[in-house]
Amino acid sequence: MFFLSHLPRLFRLSRAEYRRRRNSLAACLSEIQQFETRQMPAAAAAVAHEWNAILLDCIREQKAAPPVASRAMAITSSAVFEAVNAIDRSYVSRVQFPAADPTASMPAAAVSAAWNSLVTLFPARKAVLDARFAASIASLPDDSARAAGIEIGRQASVRLLEIRSTDGADRTVEYVPGSAAGDWQKTPPAFAAPLLPHWGSVQPFVLSSGSQFRPPEPPKLSSSEYARDLNEVQQLGAVNSTVRT
């Protein structure tokens, strides 16, 4: 049977370090859970769902790699949140986006934020996105509130895209496989190149770094510690083990 108390030993952490990481992770999860209970105003929520589906269409059509897709989803969703929240003023902005005209149209802001984000992230889909934007906006009353909402959404999108423009996602890294035991190698049948080997250094959206909660690396294959652990697994896991209790 496995208990949480086994984690320090499993990840080779001191108990003090384990407690520090556990408490940090608990605080992070607590904040995330608070966000999960929040609901967008119904009118804006409907168009947010619509444009989330459009975002997924873009990912499918462009066959975006999972890391690229997740980044696009985070940028677009954050832009929609910031645009609507600037009008609704219920929550603290995550990117210091200023409060906006409270009479502006939240649905228009959501549509505009999503559209502006997606045409930047998926420029090959611009014609389709422009048509969907026109249809979404045409369904809203043609008044000053709509115009204000469109501008707020545009500004929110620009703000998010500006912040993420230096996150390192667009770097090009040539990865040369090593020859030592345990080094990653291309595998048949395609012998494809590694997927975005630089992505571990891309700035996360919430964590301070990708390694914030990362456990220490496993023992080297040539180490006595690895040999000891391998022997232990073989002795305890063998079908005919004489030491397993």
Q: What is the pLDDT of residues 71-80, one digit of tens each?
A: 999 999 999 9
Query: What are the structure tokens assigned to 202, written together?
Result: 């891309």
Residues 59 and 155 in one domain: yes
Mean per-residue pLDDT for 199-220? 90
Query: Is the pLDDT assigned to residue 197 strictly greater than 60?
Result: yes
| Within-domain flag for 58 | yes
Query: Is the pLDDT assigned to residue 215 strictly greater than 50?
Result: yes
Residues 50 and 121 in one domain: yes
Q: How many domains does the chain have?
A: 2
Last residue of a domain, one of 164, 180, 199: 164
User: What per-residue confidence (pLDDT) applies to 14?
Assistant: 60
| Within-domain flag for 145 | yes
| Within-domain flag for 181 | no
CB 122 within 8 A of CB 85: no
pLDDT in tens, 158-170: 999 999 999 999 9
Residues 152 and 242 in one domain: no
Helix 66-88 / helix 144-164 crossing angle, nearest 10 deg = 140
User: What per-residue confidence (pLDDT) applies to 12?
Assistant: 54
Last residue of a domain, one of 164, 179, 196: 164
Q: Is 121 exposed, middle or buried (0-12, 13-18, 19+ CB in 10 A)?
A: buried
> At a CB cut-off of 8 Å and minimum separation 6, what does 4 contact?
none
| Within-domain flag for 22 | no
| Within-domain flag for 199 | no
| Within-domain flag for 211 | no
User: What per-residue confidence (pLDDT) applies to 26?
Assistant: 77
> At a CB cut-off of 8 Å and minimum separation 6, what does 32 contact?
206
| Domain extent at residue 93 | 42-164
- The CATH number assigned to the domain holding 96 equals 1.20.144.10
pTM: predicted TM-score of the whole model, two decimal places = 0.78
